[in-house]
Amino acid sequence: AQTVTQSQPEMSVQEAETVTLSCTYDTSESDYYLFWYKQPPSRQMILVIRQEAYKQQNATENRFSVNFQKAAKSFSLKISDSQLGDAAMYFCAYRSENYGQNFVFGPGTRLSVLP
């Protein structure tokens, strides 16, 4: 079974600085998708960024980018020019291309942004 690990339960960053959140996963499959979701205090789950495993180019969405290392099974999220509104729980998630509909989520990283 696939597993997703986020080794940083909590992180903090100064406003306007850059922070990187780590995610590793375990799978024997070659085709899959990876995601980062943001959960602010409102509890709403918001998709931040998505990466297809077959794509070598790292996904980017405005201030958010990923470093996808397929061989190392690593999928880190970089937030540039951090803003107060970025403070939230961040979840890394994995979904197989070949099996079912189960998204496997990591335990999350709580990000604080310091003014």
Tell me: does residue 110 bind other proteins (CB under 8 A): no
- Residue from 16, 26, 107, 114 binding other proteins (CB under 8 A): 107
Q: Find residue 89's DSSP bridge partners.
A: 39, 110
Identify which of residues 64 and 105 has a Cβ nearer to other proteins in the complex.
Answer: 105
Identify which of residues 12 and 107 has a Cβ nearer to other proteins in the complex.
Answer: 107
What mask of x and - would describe binding to other proteins in positions 28 to 47, judged by CB under 8 A? -----x-x------xxxxxx
Burial (CB count within 10 angstroms: exposed 0-12, middle 13-18, buried 19+), residue 113: buried
Cβ neighbors of 83 (< 8 A, separation 6 or more) are: 15, 63, 113
Closest CA to 2 of 84, 77, 85, 73: 73
Tell me: does residue 101 bind other proteins (CB under 8 A): yes
Whether 76 contacts 20, CB under 8 Å? yes
Tell me: does residue 73 bind other proteins (CB under 8 A): no
Binding site for other proteins (CB under 8 A): 4, 9, 33, 35, 42-47, 50, 91, 93, 95, 100-103, 105-108
